[in-house]
Amino acid sequence: MERRVVITGMGWVTPLGHDLDSVWRRMLAGESGAGPTTLFDASAFPTSFSAQVKDFDLADFLGDSAAAHDGASRNSRFALAACAMAWRDAALSAFAALDPTRVGVYLGGGEGPLDFQPFAAAALAGCRNEQGETIPLNTVRWAETALRVLTATNELEQDPNMAGGHIAVQFNAQGPNINTLTACAASTQAIGEATRLIRYGDADVMIAGGTHSMIHPLGVTGFNRLTALSTRNDTCLTASRPFDRSRDGFVLGEGSGILILEEVEHARRRGTRILAEVVGFGSTADAFRITDIHEEGRGAIAAMKAALDSAGMTPAQIDYVSAHGTGTEENDKIETLAIRRVFGEHAKKVPISSVKSMIGHLIAAAGAVELITCVLAIRDGVVPPTINYNLPDPNCDLDYVPNQARRLPVRAALSNSFGFGGQNNTLVLRAVAD
């Protein structure tokens, strides 16, 4: 018999703040975390704004032990803070019988913006002569500069697995330690696969979620070249417009979301509060084009169907859908099509919203943060809005909870994450049943 997996703790670092309940209140109020980019001079880019994490200090979460992570990059620091919140929320520190070899880490994690800067500086130096003129890359000059300015920590911290390493050290998690980087679907995939590790008996507790910050020159360059970012520089607070007819791209965000997953009997033995149960997971690939979603949404449809099948549920049993909802022309249209195909008549009845309208797109961390909002919706009986929704699009004709949060009982929620490269991951949660 498969072991049941529940959520017992949560934490996040977001552009709307770092405290679970205060961020949730701001989401329900429809606030935006977008603003001018200050992590670097973005004035020359088509998009000069983003949704940054503000007023963040790791010592606020780890105290004196934050010093042990002085070399950690921005994404690792976010993950450590979110994990500290989730660990406390799950009351794991008070459980003396916790077996560290049965505690694992599974993240969907990508880089932090400072990781690339020393490499870029060394590369530029290697491509200029003594007169400052650009020349083909000269490995001798590269070596001279790189060996002077780069450190072993620079090399280590640019690897995506390092956030999981920092977490394992801080929380003595000696079980499986895995990172996946399937673009915007990464943290949803991490949570789904971490759930399977517990179900199959490889761990009792998994620290699962994601962390990412692509708010750096290379990240913004790439997304601008893909024409994926909104360019509403003068109206950045209302730039993220999922499902709205005037949408012109997503707002790049950053942050981390961490959930504590636990085998249900393990959680009950230690008497902790259970927030929700992970009951379904579906993972597929479009196998189409790297930068485009399949026109008929075949991968998204298959992922949602697989998640519902593994949960043993029908679409009519889903009370809320947390959409991928990026605010790009194609994503929103095809996600709507896929939901209609999977949900049938229930598609017109189920409330759907995208919190990316408020916090931007956290890329690898997006799915985990959005799943936390599903847990909170189940807990509080309220679903967050899709803000900046003013012009209906005939291709997006469902109930997107426009502009105002909505009170309603939520027993089960479905959360979608779709990534560049064609990766699709869907999770299903429900209120805990005995």
Positions marked active-site:
184, 324, 361
Q: Partners of 178 in the beta sheet?
A: 106
Q: Which amino acid is at 349?
A: K
**Do 106 and 261 contact (CB within 8 A), yes or no?**
no
CA–CA dist 132, 255 (Å, integer): 37
* Cα distance between the two ends of the chain: 16
The DSSP bridge partners found for residue 209 are 107, 258
What is the helix (H) or strand (E) element at residue 428, kind and residue range?
strand 423-430
CA distances from 364 to 65, 112, 368 (A): 26, 11, 8
CA–CA distance, 315 with 302 (Å, rounded to integer): 13
